[in-house]
A and B are shown apart, each in its own frame.
Chain A
Amino acid sequence: MRVVIAEDLVLLRDGMVRMLTAYGFEVVAAVEDGATLADTLVSLRPDVAVVDVRLPPTFTDEGLRAAIAARREVPGLPVLILSQYVEQVYARELLSDRAGGVGYLLKDRVGEVRAFTDAVRQVAAGGTVMDPDVVAQLLGGGRSAQLATLTPREREVLTVMAEGRSNAAIASRLVITEKAVSKHINSILTKLDLPPSDDDHRRVLAVLAYLGG
């Protein structure tokens, strides 16, 4: 699996290259600023890009903007954004084109090596991975009366679902049967007026779009 990494700090860039290589990814490029990132993504067409939000020269959201620009050129180009801070706005911008294949994780998650590499693969496969913190913020907004109608268990399911987990993963996380999970999910989709769907990606996107407004 071909990966492009964008990270300005040498320490982390090298660490990430080493780690991904150790877990069977092929790092085809490791760039350190936003200007070259968009071009690199468009020209190399990696299977997935792992991008730090904050890159030189502006040290703001350069990485995110470059990734979004690249996705305009190459729709659905899988991008996993890493950030030191949770910014709902960034998550929303990333999800806005509804193409899937996006992820938004806190940087510390790279320490959970297995989970992190799984997340990279999931994004590469066109899935959506959201950091639990992002989801918590989206849910914590208390944005709609409809959310309030969910049972505590349904909220738990919704949270894990929004992180981009499959039914099986939700079931093992919450220690319930997969059948129970799909029942909860259908109930959630009904309560939130979302179209029922068996496709994980589509479902997650719908939920996130709903949460992100």
Chain B
Amino acid sequence: MMRRALPDLRHMLVSTGVGLAALGLLMLTLFALILCVVPPVGGPALANTAGLARRLADWQRRRMRPAILSPYTAAPGRIRDILPDPTFWRDTAWLLAGGACAFPAMLVWGLWPSGVQGLVTPILYRLLPASADLTFQALPITTATRSYIAVGMGAVILVAAYFLPRWYRRGEALLSRWLLSPGAAARLSARVEQLVETRTAAVDASAAELRRIERDLHDGAQARLVALTMNLGMAEDMFDTDPAAAKAMLADARAGAHSAISELRDLVRGIHPPMLADRGLAGAAGALAAASPVPVELEVRLERRLSAPVESAAYFVLAEALANAIKHAGAARIRMSVVDEAVHIRLRVQDDGRGGADRSRGTGLRGIERRLAAFDGSVTVSSPPGGPTEIEAVLPCGS
């Protein structure tokens, strides 16, 4: 019984707090709206109060079960952006309605102390001197009989205190959902915005990749081949006059050719690992684990071949996360898993290294994010200082 009552009570207390804060913000919002007649003052004031209201509304959204999606796409900007925005007005309406909810919430949780007071009234009646005007819920407790009536009342109040929060919470959820859910238009525009963002990221990522490949070829293989022709040309020229020097040149040329070949090989492998093409993600993950200087415990539960772009992205995520663990974490053991969950693939890379991986600093993690964004995938990073680090990516792939 208490297992249910305590969380309920806590919820009601928080609702009261949120409601009172909402009322305060409502006042501020009205004030900021009035200030909007002087745009240089009103603009920042409105943007700030709208920002606060959003934070409060988002908190309320998170409190609901299931949580309500946040409708915001961009930070509140200028007056002319805020005022026509239906989301702003719905938030404001919620400030009023949610603020009004604070009072019933207060009443409901206030039933607990009042009920308890009813139960202990006979004791109080005994203990307190007659001169202390004891009343319970407007009932003056002047006789022992009355003190027992108070016990009955207290019991009824307690039963109400136990059951009412459920009704309250239901009502609150309905109201919040009605006012705080993103409207169809907001949902659509959020989705469009997200798609534009991820598309741009995908295009940028591929352009950067192409630039990198071009640079690698130009500075690597191409330069080596030019040096090679230089050596060969000189060797050819000295062939009759200085055979020893020519021979040395030829040896140089051969070494250069070897380097060019291995550079090209690495580059090709970086573009699209042959193992991935031949054996799919499972095989390529195995190759990654085998090539790692740190022991990798690999778990692969994947029986099918995925589409090439998904495979390539998944491989990139694994390779990048593994490289991070090896390079930055100083890990002694790494666990890597690839699990097929029908509609998506779950990739996990855990290491026992020093942790402290930071999305904002590590370009690797951001690269992973960008790469996944194009597929509506997501990555979560848990890396407390001191480790362990766990990077988990979910990549939708359609079954």
Our verdict on whether A and B bind, yes or no, reads: yes
A residues bordering B, Cβ < 8 Å? 9, 11-12, 15-16, 19, 22, 54, 59, 84, 107-108, 110-114, 116
Annotate B169-199 by CB proximity to A: 1 below 8 A, 0 otherwise.
0000000000000000000000000000000
Residues on the B chain within 8 Å of A9, using CB: 219, 223
Q: Nearest 5 A-B pairs (CB), nearest first?
A: A111-B229, A113-B233, A111-B233, A9-B223, A15-B227
- Return A88 CB to nearest CB of chain B, in Å: 19
Q: Known A-B contacts: A12-B226, A15-B227, A111-B229. Give 9 more (CB < 8 A).
A: A11-B227, A12-B227, A12-B230, A15-B230, A22-B234, A54-B218, A107-B222, A111-B226, A116-B233
Out of B215, B222, B230, name the residue touching A111 (CB < 8 Å).
B230
B337 interface hit (Cβ, 8 Å): no
Of A19, A22, A84, A113, most B-chain CB atoms within 10 Å = A113
Give Cα A114 to B232, complex, Å.
12
Annotate B224-248 by CB proximity to A: 1 below 8 A, 0 otherwise.
1111111111101100000000000
Size category, B interface: 10 to 19
Specify the chain B residue showing the minimal Cβ separation from A85: B218
- Return B250 CB to nearest CB of chain A, in Å: 13
Residues on the B chain within 8 Å of A22, using CB: 234
Can you identify 16 A-B contacts, CB atoms within 8 angstroms?
A: A9-B223, A11-B224, A11-B227, A12-B223, A15-B227, A15-B230, A22-B234, A84-B222, A107-B226, A108-B225, A108-B229, A111-B228, A111-B230, A112-B233, A113-B234, A114-B237
- Return A212 CB to nearest CB of chain B, in Å: 25
Residues on the A chain within 8 Å of B234, using CB: 19, 22, 113
Q: Verify A110–B218 contact, CB threshold 8 A.
A: no
Q: Verify B226–A108 contact, CB threshold 8 A.
A: yes
Give Cα A12 to B222, complex, Å.
10
Give Cα A11 to B230, complex, Å.
11
- Return B257 CB to nearest CB of chain A, in Å: 13
Of B219, B223, B237, most A-chain CB atoms within 10 Å = B223
B residues bordering A, Cβ < 8 Å? 215, 218-219, 222-234, 236-237
Of B218, B219, B222, B226, most A-chain CB atoms within 10 Å = B226
From known contacts A22-B234, A113-B234, infer whether A11 and B229 are also in contact, taking CB-CB under 8 Å.
Answer: no
Give Cα A22 to B248, complex, Å.
14
Residues on the B chain within 8 Å of A84, using CB: 218, 222, 226
- Return B276 CB to nearest CB of chain A, in Å: 30
Q: Verify A11–B223 contact, CB threshold 8 A.
A: yes
Specify the chain B residue showing the minimal Cβ separation from A14: B227
Residues on the A chain within 8 Å of B233, using CB: 110-114, 116
Give Cα A79 to B366, complex, Å.
45
Of B215, B227, B230, B234, most A-chain CB atoms within 10 Å = B230
Q: Verify A113–B237 contact, CB threshold 8 A.
A: yes
Residues on the A chain within 8 Å of B225, using CB: 108
Q: Verify A111–B232 contact, CB threshold 8 A.
A: yes
Q: Verify B223–A110 contact, CB threshold 8 A.
A: no
Residues on the A chain within 8 Å of B232, using CB: 111
Out of B218, B230, B237, name the residue touching A16 (CB < 8 Å).
B230
Residues on the A chain within 8 Å of B222, using CB: 84, 107
Specify the chain B residue showing the minimal Cβ separation from A106: B226
Q: Verify A110–B237 contact, CB threshold 8 A.
A: no
Specify the chain B residue showing the minimal Cβ separation from A59: B215
Specify the chain B residue showing the minimal Cβ separation from A112: B233
Give Cα A110 to B232, complex, Å.
10
Give Cα A16 to B226, complex, Å.
10
- Return B251 CB to nearest CB of chain A, in Å: 14
Residues on the A chain within 8 Å of B224, using CB: 11
